[in-house]
């Protein structure tokens, strides 16, 4: 059995190594096979969800990324015992969890720490976490999470850089979400699993990772119905016993990133271990841009493109619409498309920071507010660029691969938050990409 050593984790947890850069020499068509890892946004919710279990469980297909490592570290601080069975599998024993105050410095490092609120509230009836951090995508309110907790009877206070929640007894209730929110849907689900009575969430988000978290909880003993629709019903149970193994769903966004990399680079990629149904919104746009998509067997997609991508218009929407988390990656395809395109970003107010970086590489993009206009250019040129957030970082890697010359990407801590072995996966597809230390 291989045990993952946690010695280098601090680099990830405490802010990354600013000297590390990705050096990419373009331009290469990507060809070959890539295997998709477990979904980041499912994993970062399933890990806090283990706090609701009074027992032991094993989680397989965990992506080996910094957001997962920091989540595990926080769970250990709260009293959980974690054994790494391999780099993608842990066994976690939550029987001795007693602390309800998640370390403020760690929780404020990433977004998904807000799931500790729902999970600790469910288990211990009170919780304290630092204001969640994460990528800077504009305002990221949590009013719908709070509304949900309050509907179950909790008292929630926000101030001095932290959120505290407490309750004598959680009692099921109806919660209507004013906006479709992935985080609020999952958080209210977590808080209501052990509540007395039934909770309904109306206008719930339907993303694949919501279904995955519900499946995980049901495997551990919960009674959640309707996940994946806009009405989720949670019948409170007395206890989650655990004693089960669960495998995290494949990452829809990672698979989509490679689909779009195939289009941008005029490549031919077999994307293994994906759920093709989850990729339908991306498949539709790949075909519109002139690419080809073929389903092979149950869980593999072949995506290839022999020509310059065609123009396309995109509007990001909650699932099953086109995901905001693939907006920068499709932006790279549109930057070199034949014709002019527009993207309307309807989820985040500040997700076009990457366009300035692409413009440094020769793209002609004008972004204003939640829209961007793309005047397709024939080619991009290598340049030093900076990953402004996780998905922007993935987009810049694709841009570097298709550009003439060398691209150097800084701010890798964003990319490492959400993509496992990204340079190795691209290298296996033929990309000339290496991680360098500027000091060397
Ligand atoms: N919103 C509110 N109030 C709330 C919650 C959300 O107004 O209480 C608004 C947001 O401002 C946003 C919209 O609702 O305009 C959707 O936000 P949502 O809550 O769905 O986003 P999230 O849960 O904070 C997750 C992912 C994001 C992804 C979004 C949308 C995780 C940890 N993060 O964020 O992933 O963009 O859903 O799909 O699951 C990424 O992986 O790069 C990433 C940013």
Per-residue pLDDT of the chain (440 residues; tens, 9 = 90+): 333 333 344 344 444 567 899 999 999 899 999 999 999 999 999 999 999 999 999 999 999 999 999 999 999 999 999 999 999 999 999 999 987 777 777 877 777 889 999 999 999 999 998 877 666 776 688 999 999 999 999 999 998 888 999 999 999 999 999 999 999 999 999 999 999 999 999 999 999 999 999 999 999 999 999 999 999 999 999 999 999 999 999 999 999 999 999 999 999 999 999 999 999 999 999 999 999 999 998 899 999 999 999 999 999 999 999 999 999 999 999 999 999 999 999 999 889 999 999 999 999 999 999 999 999 999 999 999 999 999 999 999 999 999 999 999 999 999 999 999 999 999 999 999 999 998 65
Instruction: Clarify whether 135 is annotated catalytic.
Output: yes
Question: Which are the contacts of 365, defined by CB distance < 8 A and separation ≥ 6?
Answer: 331, 335, 352, 355, 358, 359, 372, 373, 374, 375
How far, in Å, are 76, 257, 387, 401, 440 from residue 408 at the CA level? 36, 19, 10, 11, 14
What are the sequence ranges of the domains in the chain? 6-37+251-437, 40-247
Q: List, in sequence order, every beta strand (DSSP E) within 257-405.
A: 268-272, 292-296, 300-304, 314-315, 340-344, 364-368, 371-375, 384-386
Q: Do 40-247 and 6-37+251-437 have the same topology in CATH? A: yes
* Protein residue closest via CA to atom 39 of ligand 1: 41
CA of 183 to the centre of ligand 1 (A): 6
Assign domain 6-37+251-437 one CATH number from 3.40.50.280, 3.20.20.150, 3.30.465.10, 3.65.10.10: 3.65.10.10
* Burial of residue 186 (number of CB atoms within 10 Å: 0-12, 13-18, 19+): buried
Q: Which of 57, 135, 274, 333 is catalytic?
A: 135
The superfamily (CATH) of domain 40-247 is: Enolpyruvate transferase domain (3.65.10.10)
Residue 111: closest CA among 157, 71, 54: 71
Pocket of ligand 1 (CB under 6 A): 41, 44, 111-112, 135, 139-145, 179, 181-184, 205, 324-325, 347, 390-391, 418
**Alpha helices of 143-237 — where are they, by DSSP H?**
143-151, 182-192, 208-219
Give the number of other CB atoms < 10 A from CB of residue 249. 23
* Protein residue closest via CA to atom 29 of ligand 1: 182
Q: For residue 200, what are its two tokens? A: 């309904």
Question: Tell me, what DSSP letter sits at residue 321?
Answer: S
């Amino acid at each position: 059995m291989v045990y993952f050593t946690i010695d280098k984790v601090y680099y990830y947890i405490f802010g990354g190594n600013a000297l590390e850069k990705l050096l990419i020499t373009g331009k290469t068509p990507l060809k070959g096979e890539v295997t998709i890892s477990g979904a980041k946004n499912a994993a970062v919710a399933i890990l806090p969800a283990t706090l609701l279990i009074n027992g032991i469980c094993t989680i397989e297909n965990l992506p080996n990324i910094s957001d997962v490592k920091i989540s595990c570290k926080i769970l250990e601080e709260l009293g959980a015992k974690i054994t790494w069975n391999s780099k993608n599998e842990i066994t976690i024993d939550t029987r001795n969890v007693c602390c309800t105050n998640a370390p403020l410095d760690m929780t404020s490092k990433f977004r998904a720490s807000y799931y500790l609120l729902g999970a600790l509230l469910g288990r211990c009836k009170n919780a304290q976490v630092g204001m969640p951090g994460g990528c800077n995508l504009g305002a990221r309110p949590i009013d719908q999470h709070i509304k949900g907790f309050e509907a179950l009877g909790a008292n929630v206070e926000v101030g001095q850089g932290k959120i505290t929640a407490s309750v004598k007894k959680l009692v099921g209730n109806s919660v209507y979400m004013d906006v479709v929110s992935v985080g609020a849907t999952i958080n209210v689900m977590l808080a209501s699993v052990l509540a007395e009575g039934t909770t309904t969430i109306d206008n719930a988000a339907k993303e694949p990772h919501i279904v995955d978290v519900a499946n995980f909880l049901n495997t551990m003993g919960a009674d959640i119905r309707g996940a994946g629709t806009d009405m989720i019903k949670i019948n409170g149970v007395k206890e989650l016993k655990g004693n089960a193994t669960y495998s995290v769903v494949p990452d829809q966004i990672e698979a989509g990133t490679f689909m779009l990399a195939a289009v941008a680079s005029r490549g031919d990629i077999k994307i293994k271990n994906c759920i093709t149904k989850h990729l339908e919104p991306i498949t539709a746009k790949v075909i519109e841009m002139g690419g080809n998509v073929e389903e092979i067997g149950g869980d593999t997609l072949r995506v290839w493109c022999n020509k310059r991508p065609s123009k396309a218009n995109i509007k990001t929407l909650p699932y099953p619409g086109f995901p905001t988390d693939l907006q920068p990656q499709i932006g790279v395809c549109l930057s070199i498309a034949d014709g002019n395109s527009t993207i309307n970003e309807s989820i985040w107010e500040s997700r076009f920071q990457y366009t300035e970086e692409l413009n440094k590489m020769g793209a002609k993009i004008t972004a204003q507010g939640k829209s961007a206009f793309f005047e397709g250019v024939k080619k991009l040129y290598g340049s030093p660029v900076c990953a402004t957030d996780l998905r922007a970082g993935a987009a810049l890697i694709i841009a570097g691969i298709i550009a003439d010359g060398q691209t150097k990407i800084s701010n890798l801590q964003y990319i490492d938050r959400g993509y496992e072995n990204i340079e190795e996966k691209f290298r296996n597809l033929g990309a000339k990409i290496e991680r360098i230390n500027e000091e060397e």
